[in-house]
Structure 1
Amino acid sequence: MGESVIGWMLAALVTVCAVAGRLGMALLRARRSYVKALEERGWLLERERESAARTAVDAERARIARELHDIVSHNVSLMVVQAATAREVLSTMPGEAEAALRAVEGAGRDAMTELRHLLGLLAPSPSGDDEPYGAELAPQPSLSRLSPLIDRVAFAGLPVEVRISGEPRPLPAGIDVTAYRIVQESLTNALKHGDGVKAEVTIRYADRYLRLEVLNTGPSVLTGRADPPPRRPRPPQDGPGRGLLGLRERVAVYGGELDARRRLGGGYRVRARIPLDRP
C-alpha cells in the first residue's frame, strides 16, 4: 500500500514537472514572440518616421519652389517688359525711358527683398531662438498690400480694375499669402499676352469663404483670332502651366478649389474659393 502511494506521488511529480516544463517553454516562446514583435514594431515606427520626414521635406521643397517661381516669374516679367519699353523710347522719349528703367530697378529691388525674406525664413536664427533669421526684413505678401502690385502691373502696360465686395478683414497668414499669389500669378500671365489686354480682379469676403476672380481680355476662342502682334517682346514663358499648378497646390492645402480656363468671349479666367472656417 505504501509503495503504491509513493509510486502515485512520483508519477504525479513527474507529471507536474512535465507540465511546468511545457509551461516554461510556452512562456519562453511567448517572450521571444513578444520581443520580436517589439523589434518589428520599432522597425515599423522607424520606417514611418523616415517616411513622414521625407514627406515633410518634399512638401517643404514644393512650397519653396512655388514661392521662388512666384517671386522670380512676376518680377522678371515686369523687368523684361519695362526694359523693352525703355529700349524702344530711349532716343525719342528719354523721360519715359528713365521711368521704365526706374520700374526695372523697383522690380529688381522687390524681388531681392522677397528673396531675402524667403531665405531668412529658411535660415536658423544665430541666437538659437525660434524666430527665423532675417524674418523682420519685409512683411509677407498680403491682400492689404495689393495696391503696389496693381500699380506695377498697370505701369507695365496692363490696365487693372479691382472690385472688392464684403467686409475686408484680417485673414490667416497662409491664406492671405495664397490669395495674393493667385492675383499676382494671374496678372503676370495676362501681362505675357501682349498689348491691348485688360484685367479685372474681384475679391469677395464671404462669411465662410474667400472668393477670388481674375479676368483678362484677349482673342475669342469662337472666332479663332490670333493674338495681335505685340509691339514689344513678351516676358519669357516658364513652361506649361507651372504657375497654375503651383496655385492649385497652394489652394488645396487649405481645402479650397481653383479653376483656370479660357473664356469663350476671349481671354482667360482664374477663379478660386478658399474656406475660412477650416480647422
Structure 2
Amino acid sequence: MILAFVLAVCTVGTAVRQGDASMVVPPGEMPLVGGPVPVPVPPPPPAGWVPDLGPVGHLEPWQIVLAALTALPLAARRRYPLTAFGAVIVTTLLFNQRLGAGDTTVYTFLSCVVAAYSAAVYSPHRLRALVGVLTGAGLIAAFAEENFPYVTPGVVPFLLLVGVGLGANATHVWKQRVHALEVRQEAATRLALDRERARIARELHDIVTHNVSVMVIQAGAARKVMDAAPDRAREALLAVEAGGRTAMAELRQVMGLLTPAGEEPETGAGTGAGAEDDAELAPQPGLAQVPALVGRVRATGVPVELTVTGTPVPLPAGVGLAAYRVVQEALTNTVKHAAGATVRVVLEHTPDALHVVVTDTGGAASPSARTGTGRGLTGLRERVALHGGTLSAGGRPTGGYRVDAVLPTGEPS
C-alpha cells in the first residue's frame, strides 16, 4: 500500500513538472530516449497580456488520474497479483503514449517491475503468471522508446539495490511458503496418526473386551463349581483357555499390522507352540465366524439364539469384519450388563444389504456394568459408517436392549 502510494505521488509529481517544462510532446515528434528535451521559447507577450495557466502543470485532469493509476493498482498486488500487473501494464502504456518519454518513465518502469515481481511471486497460478509476465515484457519492449527510462551512471547503484531488495523479499516469501507447507504436512500426518490410533483402539477394544469378559464369566463359574462338579469346572477352564487363545490370535493379527516389515510381533510367551501356530494361521474374523462366536458365549451359560435368513452373498472382508464386531460387541454388553438375559442374533441377507440385529431381554446388571464408557458402540458406528452403513442402539419398549446395523453388500463408492 505504501509503495503504491509513493510511486503514484512520484509519477504524478514528475509528470506535472515535465508538463510545466516542456508541455506535451506530440507522439510523432518524440525525442530519443535520454536525449535533450527541446524547450520552446515563446515570443514576448504583448502589453497587458495575462497568462492562462490552464490545468495544473499543463496536464488535463484525466492525465493526472492516468499517471496515478500507473502505480495505485500495486496496492492489491499481494491479493490480486495478476490483475494488478495487467492494470499497471495497460495504464503505463497508455500514459507513456500520451505524455511521451521523460522523467516519468523511471517511476512507471519501476511500477512495472514491481508488478511483474508480485505476479511471479504471489500468484498461485504459475503458468498464467509466466504467460502474463512475458506478454507484459513484450509489450513494454515493443514500445521501448516511450517506456524505458534513460539510465545514467548514477542510477545504476539504485537499480542494483532494487534488484537485491526484490531478490531478498522473494527468498523470504519462498521460505514462508515452504514453512507453511511443512506445517500443513505435519498437521495432515498428525491427523492420519490420530485416525489410525482410533482405528487400532477400536480393534483392540473389540478383541480384548469380548474375550476377557467371556473368560471372566467362565472363570467365575469354574470357581463356584470347583468342589461340587469338577467336570463342569474343567469344561469352564477349557473354555477359558480357548477364549484366551482366540484373543491371542486376534491380537497377533493386529500387532502384525503394526510391526515393521522384517520384525516378528511379540504378543507374549507361555501359550505353547500350538497356540502360536493358530495365531499365525487364524483368518481375520468375518461373518463365517459368527456361529463359533455365538457358541462360545452360549458355553458360558448365556442363552443365545442365532437366526440366518435370506441368501448369503460374498461380502467384502471389511463388511464381514464389521458385522462380526457388531455381534461381538452386542454379546459382550449383554454378558457384562444384563446377567441372565436371553439373546437373539438375526442375520438377514437382502439383495443389497446385510441386516444385523441383536436383542436381549434384559437382566440383572453385573458389577462391571458400572465401568461402561460407551466407546464400544461409538467405535462400532464409525466402523459401520466407514462401509456406508448405519447402526442404531437403544432400549426396547418391552425391556432389554437392541442393536441394529445395516451394512451394504458392496463397498461404498
TM bucket, shorter chain: 0.7 to 0.9
Tell me the percent identity: 44
Return the alpha-carbon distance in structure 2 between the equivalents of residues 148 and 16 of structure 1. Answer: 94
Q: Residues 8 and 241 from structure 1, CA distance in 2 versus in 1: closer, same or farther, beyond 3 angstroms? A: closer
The equivalent residue for 1:224 is none
Shift of 1:210: 1.8
Are the counterparts in 2 of residues 259 and 272 from structure 1 also a CA contact under 8 Å?
yes
Residue of 405, 409, 412 corresponding to 1:272: 405
- Paired residue total: 259
The equivalent residue for 1:122 is 258
More moved, 89-98 vs 166-175: 166-175
Return the alpha-carbon distance in structure 2 between the equivalents of residues 166 and 17 of structure 1. Answer: 90
Are the counterparts in 2 of residues 79 and 108 from structure 1 also a CA contact under 8 Å?
yes
Return the alpha-carbon distance in structure 2 between the equivalents of residues 205 and 20 of structure 1. Answer: 81
Are the counterparts in 1 of residues 357 and 405 from structure 2 also a CA contact under 8 Å?
yes
Residue of 206, 209, 225 corresponding to 1:70: 206
Return the alpha-carbon distance in structure 2 between the equivalents of residues 103 and 70 of structure 1. Answer: 19
Shift of 1:193: 3.6
Shift of 1:48: 3.1
More moved, 162-171 vs 41-50: 41-50
Q: Secondary structure at the match of 1:210?
A: strand
Shift of 1:273: 1.2
Deviations 1:174-222 (A, max 9, x none): 1111110000000111112454311111112222222110011125xxx
| Aligned pairs (5 A) from 1:50-199 | 50-126=186-262, 137-199=281-343
Q: Secondary structure at the match of 1:171?
A: coil
Shift of 1:43: 4.4
The equivalent residue for 1:211 is 355
Are the counterparts in 1 of residues 309 and 348 from structure 2 also a CA contact under 8 Å?
yes
Shift of 1:238: 4.3
Normalized per residue, the structure richer in helix is 2
TM-score, scaled relative to structure 2 = 0.57
More moved, 191-200 vs 95-104: 191-200
Return the alpha-carbon distance in structure 1 between the equivalents of residues 29 and 259 of structure 2. Answer: 84
Are the counterparts in 2 of residues 81 and 235 from structure 1 also a CA contact under 8 Å?
no
Which is greater in Rg?
2
Are the counterparts in 2 of residues 157 and 195 from structure 1 also a CA contact under 8 Å?
no
Q: Note if 1:261 corresponds to 2:394.
A: yes
Return the alpha-carbon distance in structure 2 between the equivalents of residues 257 and 37 of structure 1. Answer: 45
TM-score, scaled relative to structure 1 = 0.82
Return the alpha-carbon distance in structure 2 between the equivalents of residues 242 and 109 of structure 1. Answer: 25
Return the alpha-carbon distance in structure 1 between the equivalents of residues 302 and 370 of structure 2. Answer: 17
More moved, 267-276 vs 84-93: 267-276
Normalized per residue, the structure richer in strand is 1
Identify which of structures 1 and 2 has the higher relative contact order when contacts are C-alpha pairs closer than 8 Å and 6+ apart.
Answer: 1
Shift of 1:68: 0.7
Return the alpha-carbon distance in structure 1 between the equivalents of residues 30 and 341 of structure 2. Answer: 110
The equivalent residue for 1:130 is none
CA RMSD across the alignment:
3.0
